[in-house]
Amino acid sequence: MLPPLYVLRHGETEWNRADRMQGGLDSPLTPLGRAQALAMGRALAAAGVGPQTHDALCSPQGRARDTAALALGPLGMQAQADSRLREIAMGQWAGLARSEIAARWPGPSDEGLVAFYSRAPEGEGFVALWARVGAVLAEIRRPTVIVTHGMTSRALRALAMGLALDRIGDLPGGQGIVFEIRDGVSRILPVDGLPQRDATANAAT
């Protein structure tokens, strides 16, 4: 059984706002994204998270590192970057708007989240994502905060909850949300004062 985990997605970015896929690319946090990061930090503080009791890891991508610094800095914590927590690579779709993808690579109207990301040309795919986030979880020994990305967060949470790979698409997404996983059960911590952006349909940007 894993120690308790707190999983955060990075705050809103310029490309999130423009509905553009980021994957392994990056764009800056918006003012809302920075405010979301600070609010998530306050939620962690209210939950008793601190450097004496918790470790912290983050994706090395700029939007995750910036979110981690804003959320964890006031708690006296600094996240260690781990390349295995990067976002799923989107291949030829990286940097494109969703509308461009729909025009050039149309899919079925009822296409689900996992099916959409699985068909990204030259993309990483979920088997590779699952393996690398599983390797991270296997090394965790203390309660840990993890700051990462939309699809990477889903894979982490599914594994921590004992779910199979095909359940990734069933889990909620969003920005400005702190997911706590304790004893295989996930709950959302209260985050004060900000709208929480539902990113279910656009998880990897």
Single-letter residue type at 113: L
Domain boundaries, position 136: 5-202
Active site residue 87: yes
How much is the pTM?
A: 0.94
Q: What is the mean pLDDT of each run of 10 residues along the chain (205 residues)?
A: 96 97 97 97 97 98 98 98 98 97 95 93 97 98 98 97 94 95 96 62 48
Residue 198's pLDDT is 54
Residue 203's pLDDT is 52
> What CATH code is carried by the domain that includes residue 13?
3.40.50.1240
Residue 205's pLDDT is 55
- How far apart, in whole angstroms, are the C-alpha atoms of residue 137 and residue 45? 23
Which DSSP string corresponds to 82-125?
A: -GGGSPPP-GGGTT-BHHHHHHHS---TT--HHHHHHT-TT---
Place of tokens 């990305």: 149
Q: How far apart, in Å, are the Cα atoms of 154 and each of 46, 62, 74, 106?
A: 24, 19, 26, 24
Type and span of the H or E element at 144 = strand 144-148
Tell me the Cα Rg of the chain: 16
- Number of domains making up the chain: 1
Let me know: does 29 contact 66? Beta carbons within 8 Å.
Answer: yes
- How far apart, in whole angstroms, are the C-alpha atoms of residue 126 and residue 151? 9
Residue 200's pLDDT is 44
Q: Which of 12, 87, 124, 180 is catalytic?
A: 87
Q: Which of 10, 54, 124, 149 is catalytic?
A: 10
Residue 202's pLDDT is 45
Residue 201's pLDDT is 39
